Amino acid sequence: MKAIFSLALFLSLFLASCHSEPSLQQYFVTNTENKNFVALDLSPSILNIEPSKLTVTQNKALHSFEKMNVLAFKVNPKNQQEFVTERAKVAAILKDTMYQQLIKFGSGKEGAAISYVGSDDHINEFVLFANKKEAGFAVIRVLGKDMNPENIMTLLSIIKDSKIDLAQLQPLQELIKK
């Protein structure tokens, strides 16, 4: 009986300590099948870069990048209220202290913000949240291992010189056109 009581106490403490706040990952999973969203998972292969042509620093930056998740909400006259609700959900998730905001521009109704998860030298996730009331919003998660601002800047220079596989981005083309 004492063992059962101890087990019940342990389980109740364990369950109470679980983080029940919604996470960005949960938000992505929940909305992947929603008809108002476009979801994409992109790997570094989208860049179409020959690793042998990169410097050691560029290779290190490329290897710190594991994948990118994109979730975009396309607004239309029929889903205006859902757009407002979903945008507020994302904004609330990004207010969690685990997301450290780097920069924000524009207003709360239109604009963008870049946040990260991790420490300054060991970033595990960059998040870009951009929204425009006429078009919708997009949340982009750049996931990696021990990324840092220098790696990100190097990665941006690699992207500039890459031959991006636009076929992987086709689902977003209609959203961008608006």
Decide if 8 is inside a domain.
Answer: no
As given in the structure block, the two tokens for residue 148 are 């840092």
Strands 122-132 and 136-147 come out as antiparallel
- Output the pLDDT for position 110: 86
Number of domains in the chain: 1
In a domain, residue 143? The reply is yes
CA distance linking residue 67 with residue 38, whole number of Å: 17
- Does any domain span residue 91? yes
- Domain assignment present for residue 9? The answer is no
Range of the domain at 169: 21-177
Q: What is the pLDDT of residue 168?
A: 59
- Note the pLDDT of residue 173: 56
Q: Which candidate, 89, 75, 93, 82, places its Cα nearest to that of 137?
A: 75
Residue 87 lies in a domain: yes
Question: What is the reported pLDDT for 108?
Answer: 59
* Under-70 pLDDT residues of the chain: 1-21, 108, 165-178
User: Does residue 171 form part of some domain?
Assistant: yes
What pLDDT does residue 15 have? 41
Rounded CA gap, 24 and 125, in Å? 11
Residue 84 is assigned to a structural domain of this protein: yes
pLDDT recorded at residue 133: 87
**Cα 80 from Cα 93, distance rounded (Å):** 20
Beta-carbon contacts of residue 129 (< 8 Å; ≥ 6 apart): 90, 91, 94, 112, 113, 114, 115, 137, 138, 139, 140
